[in-house]
C-alpha cells in the first residue's frame, strides 16, 4: 500500500513559501515536488479555502502565504488537506461474521483510535514556525561545520 505524503509535501512547500520573496507559481511548486501543476493547484485549494495561502492570478501571479507560520499548526494543514488517513495498516473484513475477526478488529480499532488522537494532539502543538526554526538551525550548523575530507 502506498502511503499518503501530501502532509509532508505541503509542509515542505509552505516553509519554502515563507522563505521565498513573492509568490510561487504552481509550475515551480510542481517542479519542486516532481508532480503536475494541476495536482498542486488541487492540493493548494484546500489550504486556500482555509485561509493559509492565497493565490494571485495573471502574469507574475502564484501562491503566497496568507498567514504567518506561527499561526499554522501541523493539525491545521492536515485538516486543510481533508484529513488524510493516518496509518497504512488497517483491519481485515474477510469474515465479518467470525467472532475472532470481530475481537481482533475491535482491539485494533481501539488502538488505532487512541494512537490517532495522540498524534492529532501533537500535531496541534507543532507550529510551522517550529519546523522553520529547526531548518534554520540545521542550515546554520551545516555552514559552520568544517569541510570533511573523504
Q: Which residues pair with 24 in a beta bridge?
A: 63
The pLDDT of residue 45 = 94
pLDDT of the residue at 86: 87
Q: From CA 37, how far away is CA 98, in angstroms rounded? A: 47
> Is 62 in contact with 16 (CB distance < 8 Å)?
no
The per-residue pLDDT for 40 is 94
The mean pLDDT value for 71-76 works out to: 98
Does residue 125 carry a pLDDT above 70? Answer: yes
Binned at pLDDT 50, 70 and 90, residue 150 comes out as low
Question: Of 22-26, 54-58, 85-89, which has the strongest mean pLDDT?
Answer: 22-26
Q: What is the pLDDT of residues 136-149, one digit of tens each?
A: 999 988 888 665 55
Q: What confidence tens digit (pLDDT) does each residue in 32-73 have?
A: 999 999 999 999 999 999 999 999 887 778 999 999 999 999
Point out which residues pair with 5 in neighbouring strands. Answer: none
With the C-alpha atoms ordered 83, 89, 90, 94, is the resulting torsion angle positive or negative? positive
Nearest-CA neighbor of 62 among 97, 32, 95?
A: 32
Handedness of CA 27, 29, 31, 36 (dihedral sign): negative
Amino acid at each position: 500500500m502506498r502511503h499518503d505524503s501530501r502532509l509532508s509535501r505541503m509542509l515542505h512547500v509552505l516553509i519554502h513559501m515563507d522563505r521565498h520573496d513573492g509568490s510561487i507559481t504552481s509550475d515551480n511548486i510542481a517542479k519542486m515536488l516532481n508532480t503536475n501543476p494541476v495536482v498542486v493547484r488541487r492540493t493548494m485549494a484546500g489550504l486556500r479555502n482555509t485561509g493559509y495561502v492565497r493565490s494571485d492570478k495573471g502574469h507574475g501571479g502564484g501562491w503566497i502565504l496568507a498567514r504567518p507560520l506561527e499561526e499554522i499548526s501541523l493539525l491545521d494543514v492536515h485538516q486543510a488537506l481533508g484529513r488524510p488517513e493516518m496509518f497504512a495498516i488497517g483491519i481485515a473484513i474477510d469474515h465479518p461474521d467470525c467472532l475472532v475477526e470481530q475481537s481482533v478488529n475491535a482491539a485494533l480499532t481501539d488502538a488505532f483510535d487512541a494512537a490517532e488522537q495522540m498524534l492529532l494532539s501533537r500535531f496541534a502543538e507543532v507550529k510551522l514556525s517550529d519546523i522553520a526554526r529547526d531548518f534554520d538551525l540545521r542550515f546554520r550548523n551545516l555552514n559552520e561545520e568544517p569541510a570533511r575530507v573523504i
